Structure formats: structure tokens, C-alpha cells
Structure 1
Amino acid sequence: MKIPLALCAAVLVLVGCAQAPEPVIAKDTLVWANTSPVRSLDIAHGFDTASTLAQFAMLDTPVTLDKTGAVVPSLAESWKETKPGVYDFRLRPGVTFSDGTPLTSDDVAFSLRRHLDPKVASEAASYFGTVKSVEATGPGAVRVVLRRPNATFLATAAIGWQVVPRKLAEAHPKDLGSPDVGTLGTGPYKVARYSITDGLTLVRNERYWGRARALSRIEIKAIEDPEARRLAVASGDVDATMDIPITDVRKWAGLPDVTTGFYPSNNLAFLSLDVTAGPLKDVHVRRAIAHAVNREALARVGTAGHGRLSPALLTTPQLKTLYGDRVEEVAGKLRTYKHDLTAAKAELAQSAYPDGFSITVPYAPVENPLIIQAVIADLAKIGIKLTLETQPEDAYRARLMSHDRVGIHFSDLGYSTPDAGEVLPDLLSRASAQEGGWNFSLYASAELDRRLDEAMSATGPAKADLVTEVLAEVAEQVPYIPLYCIDQAYALNKKFTADINAWTVDIYSAIRPAGA
């Protein structure tokens, strides 16, 4: 703030009218920018990228993933599947929450069980649809019983089973993780300051049971405008971000003193079609849309050469894990929809809307405008008029998560495990079709749940065959149109280094000052 000249003499002896020096930022402080604010420090109420990046730095899970995607110990020193679908965990002794409160097996059991409570309306509920019961069986011991064996359980537990104090969570079933309530974790960082508008500051948790992290402080802010975010990184006001618009990759790659890197990510971009309302209830309409949309062109626009067309409703790493070298062979057996306007019009002619129709869908600028505009142009060629109802980001996300008139929606979701069981129940189960879930197509049934459960409980070639059957149904019924998998980009000031890949759960802990 400038001091008026008339007041300068009066305060001269105190401040000398000298400009205050710029605050010195420690070299082990990282300033990080997201596109959107951290919505919640609790995965049940904030299962989005900005929120989970912070959560994983604060909240431990009983198991985690190593660099290869394998499940390894974290809060649990060991575990054993004592019989099919029954897991006994032995917890690490001496762990405390960041306030010094001892971690108990009751906290750990409750932290999973709360996702099954409809009153919580957890956004991670679909991860644990096969969980029947969770109980503390003694000091340091927790037992999980599944409704049926599920080979995906441990991998998803590494992401969604974030441990919080039972007493705090029970007192705040709806607003745990909010700025007013906050949260407590056992992880390497804890909250120093949190505001939706002013951002989040994490500091090193001195009570952490594991190795101290290289960064002592992480300042997280939201910069919605992509150019403003790029300029902030270029100037050094921001040290890092993973929110790089793919259309601007070349501009980012040329920034001095900044490393712009890419790695194959567990990412899937797709269109969801609400099968429960209006013209989209008709499978011939959905097939017409699948033929009308130019997937190859959308992939070129969406990846800018840093990604690949997706042949099915799974991420590239998951397809590779499941099928190995047989990905193309399996994809060739699924019904495909080449960009063909004649075929699109023929499908539409078999529907109740042979001349097309109009549909209004929600939209917020956080979505890729080039993709949305391309879809609008493609559908217009067969008589489908897609009108965007632009909304503020918070209202837009609230509408999506409540599944309120979603219609045709473009999603670009990041996943965290190499297992197909993370994606398919997330997008196809009845649990995920409930409020807070990610099944925006609302394509779900008891029979499909049964088949998903059967596929997720299998291993080896049997699992691959059962997953293929589910993917074939999706290809036939078209609740989703898979588009592409994009590589993850990041920008990092050269004052820092990072060791990040698709299976890095805690991104902030993987960053360190250069030379440290």
C-alpha cells in the first residue's frame, strides 16, 4: 500500500517511508497452482484432482501404491486374505494424528465404513460397493469382509480409504474437510491455513511416523485463467502446476527456468449420455451420436500429440495391465463406431427422432472448449442441436454431482490404480449412479452390478474375459463414448525436481528442492 505524501513525514521515524522488503520464501517452500480451488480435504466430499492432491499429502491409507502400481504397506504393516473376500490388517504401532491423538483401529475401521453410509453421500462410495462390513477386531487389528471376493479391493483402498479420526468424522458427516471444520490426518503434512477463496497452506507434520518430506511448506492456490497461470509460473510467483491446457503445450514448453514434462497417465476422456431422459433414452440416438462424433479429430485436438485414441472404456495403463499385448485384438472384437455421417443418420432414422432434436446441457469454462465446440459442430450435421447452459464452476459441479439434467457431458477423469475395477464400477454401478457418484450416464442395473462384481473378483485370463463382456455391452448400448487417453503434463520451476509417474499417489511428497 502506498503512503500519501502528507502522511509520510508523520510516520518517518517509524517506517522511513521505505518500501517493505519482499518476503523471503524458503527454498523448501513450494507454491502450487490448480485450475480450481481445493473443494474439500475429505475425499467423501471432494473427489476431484485439486482436492485429492492435498488429501494424499495429509491423509494416510492402510495400503498404498509403489512406482510399479503394486500395493504396499502404509498404515498397515501387513495384511492377509484369510479366506476369499476377508482381509485382516495389522496396523503400524505408535502412529498419531497431527494433533498428537493416537491412531486407533476403530478410527481406521470407521474411516472405511463411513463411505457406505448414505447419509455421508460419499463421492468415493462406488470404490467400496463390495464391502459388507469393517470392524476393529482388537488393538491394531482391522477386518474387512467383502460381499464377494474382489481382486480390486486393495488397489482402490490405496486411494479411497483415507483415515480420519472417528470422533471428528461422526460429528461432521456432511462437512468434514470444509474450511470451517478441516480434518486431521496421520500423513506427512498438516493444514496451516485453508480457505476456498484464498487457498490452502500445508506444513510439515512433525509427528509423522514416516520419513520427513523434503518440502517444509506447500502453498496451494487456484488460478482459473490458463494464461494467468502460465504467466505466474513464468514469473516465478508459482513454482509448479499440473493444470496445463494441452492446446498451450508449446507455449509452456518454452518457458525459461521451467521444466515441462510428460508421463503416461491413468486418464480417460469420454462423452457420457444420460440414458434415462429424453431422446438419449433411445439406443439408436446414442449410436447415431457415436457415429457422428469424429473421435480421431477430437483425440488430435484433445491430446496435441501427447496421448492416444481410447479403444474402450478403460485407461491406456489399465488396458495394458489387463490384456498385455492383446489390446488391439480385444478392441477389434468390440462394436466400433467409425466417423460416418451416413451411418449416423441411418441410426437416427430408426429412432423416434429421425429429424433430430435439441438438447440443453450444463457447461463451465473448466471444460475444454475446443472439444465441446467440435462435438456441437459434429452433432449439428445430423440435426442434433446442442446448446450450452453456461454456469459458474461451483454451480456446474454441484449439478453434475447431483446428476441433474446432465444430458451429454464431456469428462476427462484421472484414475490412480492399474486395475479395471477402479473405472468400471465408478462409471457403471448403481452405487455410482446415486448422488455424489460419477456415473453420469445413469446406465446401471442389478444384473450389471452382478457382472461387475464377478469380473472384479476374478483374476488372470478369467478376469480379462469377464471385463471384455462388460466392455462389449458398453459398446453395444453406448452410455459412454470413449475418446482418448492423454499424457499428464506438469510444469516445475528448475529450483525443484520431481519423481512422478502414473502410480504416484502423493505428488507433493515426490517433489524436492534441486540438489536436496
Structure 2
Amino acid sequence: MNRKTLVLPAVVGLLAPVLAACGGPDAGGDAIVVGTTDQFVASKDNPAPLDPAIGYEAGVWNVLRQTVQTLTHIPRGGGEPVPEAAETCQFTDTRNESYRCTLREGLTFADGTPLTTEDVKYSLQRVIDIKDESGPVGLLDNIDTIETKGEDEIVFHLSNPDATFPYKLATPAAGIVQKDKYPAKAPRDGFEVDGSGPYTMKAEVKDGQAVKVVFTRNPTYKGDLKVLNDKVELDLFPDAEAMGKALDDKKIDMMTRTMSPEQSQKMLMEPQEGVKLTEMPGLAISYLAFNTEDPAVENKAVRQAMAQVIDRGEIAGEVYGSTAEPLYSLIPSGITGHTNSFFNTYGEPSTSAAAKTLQEAGISTPVSFTLHYTTDHYGPATAAEFKALAKQLNASGLFEVKVEGTPWAKYRPAQRKGEYAVYGMGWFPDFPDPDTYTAPFLDKNNFLNSPYRSAAAQETLIPESRSAADRSTASPIFEKLQDIVAKDVPVLPVWQGKQYVASLDGLTGVEWAVTSSADLQLWELGKST
């Protein structure tokens, strides 16, 4: 959470006006077309991929942000949250346990139905009640009670102090939905989304999978955002190569996540006429995670030895080039509180040090397991990354590793069930604060459904960190949390990514349309006149 926290968004705010092109709202009325490799699939395991109570992925949230309004939002360029559907919001006590918001006058859903505080209460309470195991309920589980006062005032009483709560209200987990379209205790199946945000949306679906999402300006929208276009089409591509070809053919105006490292590198080295490559700060991280109850890795010495063997610099340089850098902590550089805990603990890669760690723990070598990764969720370089990781581990002679890739629709449920001993994941922050890089992995109801527990983290450090209204004062606590992760290795950070967005000349607002947290803000896009 960020009260005086962020470094990178502040930098973005300073630089972006220099980059901005002249232009304004899309005068011609034609749709702006944006490409992405995000996939939205309705399956038996996940029949409601776009329900705010269920969806907890960057791509899903990028659809919801355009259509479902929240009480607060992160302002352009970063900083602490400001009111969006609310007129005002503030803590009303010194302990950050009671948070009060007053709604804007005249709010309605896109179909004209009035929006009241009862709708807000209903929306957040259903996320808590549904409590989906893969959903974002962890962001709201500190809410004790929600009190409404008339049609415009709502008070959140928290179980424990939480200075990050305004940021959580800015996430799609706190999106406001209609009672008659979203069941109170069950997900809303399919690909429909209804809200009061800047756009309405309609998904084109083929064989249970969305292939395009069309966003149309919502004429009833009342909020803090300025919408600079009338329509945006989000085209979903199977891979970066297909998305790149569409840009070359001028079938799309912009391509976002996830461009391949090869595409970014080529555009950097050989700029294309009529195409602009915009580099932006990136707060996404990639890491290995462990089922700490699996016999192969339940002894932390095995996980520590992996941390000693893996050469992050080689992975970042050979697989991702200039689009990634080695990461030695769950909290990436650019976020207040970051420290290189893994490097401080293990130093440079060392097979001899890893061998000693295993020997002292009485672990027979080679240690055998499978490295699991998802084939279609984090970009085209993931397979090469895991091949390189396996090569490093096997070359040490201490490990005997195989690699297996699985589509995300099957991968995530299997991971949640504990079927994988070692697996790769990526993380896009819920909001720009160190809390979102620690609590989702170490707290109760953690994102990975990991059996790992740290009493010091859950009972002392995380609650203490959330009590700090000035987020910079919490840095020593986050340093301790990072040191715990480096010692116990429930997760093993590998790299931190940069972001690149390619767009055709004439598209304006690109530098604002993607944040350092990889949030899409399509309302910022326009076409120059």
C-alpha cells in the first residue's frame, strides 16, 4: 500500500508528459483495437472466468477495470488512491480500522438502475461469502462488518488495522455489481460483465473461449476517469507471433501483454517506420514455488540448494535479454522496502555450497522432481526459461530434473490441489505496495494455497506492517519478511520484468494506458487528429 511508497510510478508521472503525443478523443468514432495474448476460457473447473468474486488474474482484471466501478482508484501516474465511485473516502480513526466513503450523486449502472451503498455492500459481501479458493477474497478478508447509512454513506469496520485498505478498494475484487445479475452465494457463469464503469462490454465467444472483447463508452458513467474514446476492441491472440503479425498488417493499433522478448529486442535494435515502442517500468515478477509437503522438496535444504545453484543473471540475459533482470527477493526493485535477501543469504551461484547444504541435511543426491510450467499464460519465453532452469540444476549433478508444460486452464487447478512439487508462477501486483508481494504468499488464505506457514509472518510482521500509515516506515518489517522467505524458501524469485508496448503512429495516450503494475486503462487511448 502506498502512502509515500512508490518510486517507479512517480517516475512515470514525471516522464510521461514528455512522451505524450498531440491528440484527443477519437474523433472518427472507429474502434481502437488493442491486442493481447491473455486467454479467457470457461471450463468445468472455472465456469465464471470474469466474475469479480472469482477472477484473480491480470488479464481478467484488465477486463473488469474497464467495466466494473470501484470506490477508489489509483490516479494517473501513481500515488495513493483517490475517490472514483465515491465522492470522498477516509479513515475515521487513528488505528486505520474504520474506513468511510460517501458515494457520488446520481450513480447508476449502465442499464440505468440506481447504484446505492447497498449495492456496494452486496458486491463486497458476495466475494467474502463465495470465498473462491482461487479468487481475490484474501484482499477483503480483513473486513469485519460493512455498515450502510442511507443511500450514499458506507463504513467498513476492519478486524485489524490496515493502511492498505484504500488500495484494496481500488482493485476489481471490490468492483460494484448488480444484485439482479450476480447471485449472492454463487458465481455468475459465462463471459457477461455488468457494472457502472467507463465502458460496457460484450465478449465474442467461440468454443467456450473469448476471442474478442468489445468495450463501448458507457453514457451513464459518473466517476473520476476521463474517457478519451468511444470504443475499444480487445483482440485475443493465441501467441505473441500472431499478435505481432496483426500489428504489421495494421489490424490492431497496439499490442500489450505479452510481447515476446524477441519482438521487443528487434524493435529496440531495428525501429519500424510507423510503429512506436514504448518502454515502461515493470513490477511483474517470476518465481518458482514449492509444495512444501511434497517429499521431494519438504526439506528446506533442497529448496536452499536450488537457490544456491540457479543463476538468475544467466536466465534473464539468455532467455529475456533486455526485457528482464535478475530478482533476489519477492519484493522487486522500485518498491520501497526491497532488499536483495537471497543474494545476501546465498551469494553468487555455487554448486559446492549447494552440495554442502544437502550433505549437512543428510539429503541423498541427485534429488529428483519435475519442474512444471504453464504453456499459455506468461508469454512465449516461458518454455525456454524452464528448459534453462532444468539445464542449470542438472548440470550441478545434485538434481535430476524433468520439465513439463500444461495449459493454464488445467495448470492452475492442479497447482492449487498440490499436485506439483515445484512449479513456476508469475505475479502482477494487486496494487503498488510491498504488502502485495508478501501477504499473498505468506498470509492466511494465500494465493498459492501453500501449506507453508510462518508464525512470525502471519501473527506479527504482516499485521505490524499494515499498521503503518506512512508506508515508508514499514520498510524494516518488510526486510524481515524477505529474510524469512530467503531462509525458508517457500518461493524462489527468479526475475523481474520490464514492459514494452508497441503501437501504430497516431495512437495517443499509450504511456498512460498501461501502468507499472500492468493494468490496462483503455480510457486513456485516443487517435490524433
Would you say same fold, with TM above 0.5?
Answer: yes
The CA deviation at 1:446 is 5.1
Q: Which one-letter code corresponds to 1:54 in the other structure? A: V
Q: Distance in 2 between matches of 1:488 and 1:439?
A: 25
Deviations 1:432-452 (A, max 9, x none): 2xxxxx226442355532221
Equivalent of 2:503 in 475, 492, 515: 492
Q: Matched residue of 1:281: which SS?
A: coil
CA distance in 1, matches of 2:203, 2:342: 52
Please give the root-mean-square deviation of Cα atoms over the aligned residues, in Å: 2.5
Q: Deviations over 1:17-44 (max 9, x none)?
A: xxxxxxxx96641222221323533333
SS of 1:166's equivalent? coil
| SS of the residue 1:427 aligns to | helix
User: Comparing 387-396 with 376-385, which one deviates more in the overlay?
Assistant: 387-396
User: Match of 1:388?
Assistant: 403
SS of the aligned residue for 1:423 comes to helix
Aligned residues of 2:369 and 2:400 also touching (Cα < 8 A): yes
Contact 2:52 2:127 in 1 (8 A): no
Shift of 1:278: 1.6
Per chain length, whose mean CA-contact separation is higher, i.e. which structure has more relative contact order (CA < 8 Å, sep 6+)?
2
Which stretch shows the higher mean deviation, 382-391 or 365-374?
382-391
Q: Which residue of 2 aligns with 1:47?
A: 56
Q: Where do residues 392-471 of structure 1 align in structure 2 (5 Å cutoff)?
A: 392-400=407-415, 402-432=416-446, 438-439=447-448, 441-445=450-454, 447-451=456-460, 452-460=462-470, 462-471=473-482
Partners of 2:121 and 2:527 in 1: how far apart? 37
The equivalent of 1:151 in structure 2 is: 163
What is the 5 A alignment of 1:228-247?
228-242=242-256, 243-247=258-262
User: The residue matched to 2:106 in structure 1 has which SS?
Assistant: coil
Q: CA deviation at 1:119?
A: 4.6
- How far is the alpha carbon of 1:263 from its aligned partner? 0.8
Secondary structure (helix, strand or coil) at the match of 2:180 reads helix
Q: What's the counterpart of residue 392 of structure 2? A: 378
Query: SS state of the match for residue 169, structure 1?
Result: coil
Show CA shifts across 1:374-427 (max 9, x none): 110111123322223333332223323x34323222222221423111221112
User: Shift in Å at residue 483 of structure 1?
Assistant: 2.0
Match of 2:8 in 1: none
Q: How does 1:212-251 map to 2 (within 5 A)?
A: 213-242=227-256, 243-251=258-266
1:287 aligns to what?
304
Output the CA distance in 2 between the equivalents of 1:355 and 1:121.
36
Amino acid at match of 1:107: D
Q: Which amino acid aligns with 1:150?
A: D
SS of the residue aligned with 1:473?
Answer: helix
1:14 maps to what in 2?
none
- CA spacing shift, 1:504–1:384, aligned 2, 3 Å: closer
- TM-score, normalised relative to structure 2: 0.83
Write the distance in 1 (CA, Å) between the matches of 2:139 and 2:478: 17
- Structure 1 residues 128 and 49, CA gap change in structure 2 (3 angstroms): same
| Superimposed CA distance per residue, residues 49-89 of structure 1 (whole angstroms, 9 cap, x where no aligned partner) | 22111111111110111123221110111122112211111
Residue pairs, 1:301-380, within 5 angstroms: 301=318, 303-318=320-335, 321-322=336-337, 331=341, 334-366=344-376, 367=378, 368-380=382-394
Among 32, 35, 38, the residue aligned to 2:34: 32
Contact 1:361 1:388 in 2 (8 A): yes
Q: Quick check: 2:371–2:386 contact (8 Å CA) kept in 1? A: no
Q: Is the 8 A contact 2:92 2:99 kept in 1?
A: yes
Tell me the SS of whatever aligns to 2:375: coil
Secondary structure of the residue aligned to 2:345 is coil
Shift of 1:117: 2.1
SS in 2 for 1:260: strand
Distance 1:51 1:314 in 2: 23
Q: Give distance in 2, aligned partners of 1:403 and 1:122.
A: 11
Shift of 1:167: 3.5
User: Per the alignment, do residues 183 and 390 of structure 1 end up closer, same or farther by CA in structure 2, a change over 3 Å counting?
Assistant: same
Which runs of 5 or more residues in structure 2 are unaligned? 1-26, 42-48
Residue 175 of structure 1 is matched in structure 2 by 188
Identify which range, 249-258 or 372-381, moves more after superposition. 249-258
* Aligned AA (1:513): K
Which of 478, 499, 502 is residue 516 of structure 2 equivalent to?
502
Aligned residue in 2 for 1:5: none
**What's the CA shift for 1:120?**
4.0
Distance 2:40 2:345 in 1: 39
Matched AA of 2:437: V
The equivalent of 2:293 in structure 1 is 276
In structure 2, do the counterparts of structure 1 residues 212 and 305 end up closer, same or farther at CA, with 3 Å as the change threshold?
closer
Q: In structure 2, give the amino acid aligned to 1:155.
A: Y
Q: Runs of 5+ in structure 1 lacking a partner? A: 1-24, 433-437
Q: Does 1:514 align with 2:528?
A: yes
Runs of 4+ in 1 over 6 A off after TM superposition: none
Distance 1:385 1:57, change over 3 A: same
SS of residue matched to 1:220 = strand
Deviation at 1:303, TM superposition (A): 4.2
C-alpha contact 1:76 1:91 (8 A) present in aligned 2? yes
The aligned amino acid for 1:291 is: Q
* Count of residue pairs the alignment pairs up: 475
1:185 aligns with 2:195: yes
Instruction: Give the superposition deviation at 1:462.
Output: 4.5
TM-aligned CA deviation for residue 431 of structure 1: 0.7
Distance 1:414 1:404, change over 3 A: same
- Cα distance, 1:360–1:274 mapped onto 2, change above 3 Å: same
2: distance between equivalents of 1:225 and 1:69?
A: 33
The answer on 1:298 being equivalent to 2:310 is: no
Q: Which amino acid aligns with 1:73?
A: P
Higher mean C-alpha displacement, 402-411 vs 134-143: 402-411
For residues 446 and 125 of structure 1, the distance between their equivalents in structure 2, rounded to whole angstroms, comes to 21
- Pair 1:315–1:36, CA change in 2 (3 A): same
Q: Tell me the alpha carbon deviations over residues 214-256 of structure 1, each in whole angstroms, 9 at most, x when there is no partner.
A: 2222222221222121111111112222111123312344333
Change over 3 Å in CA distance of 1:222–1:137 after alignment to 2? same
Contact 1:31 1:238 in 2 (8 A): yes
Q: Secondary structure at the match of 1:158?
A: coil
After superposition, the Cα gap between the structure-2 partners of 1:467 and 1:171, relative to the gap in structure 1 and judged at 3 Å, is closer
Deviations 1:82-101 (A, max 9, x none): 12211111111101111111
Equivalent residue number for residue 3 of structure 2: none
Aligned to 1:18: none
Q: Is 1:134 the equivalent of 2:146? A: yes
SS at 1:405's partner residue? coil
Q: What amino acid does structure 2 have at the position aligned with 1:490?
A: V
Q: Percent identity?
A: 21
Name the SS of the counterpart of 1:198 in structure 2.
strand
Q: What letter corresponds to residue 31 of structure 2 in structure 1?
A: T
Tell me, yes or no, if the aligned pair for 2:304 and 2:489 is still in contact at 8 Å: yes
Residue aligning to 2:490: 479
Q: Deviations for 1:270-317, whole angstroms, at most 9, x for unmatched residues?
A: 221221212211010010010111112122235422343323211223
SS at match of 2:293: coil
Q: Are the aligned partners of 2:341 and 2:483 in contact in 1 as well (CA < 8 Å)?
A: no
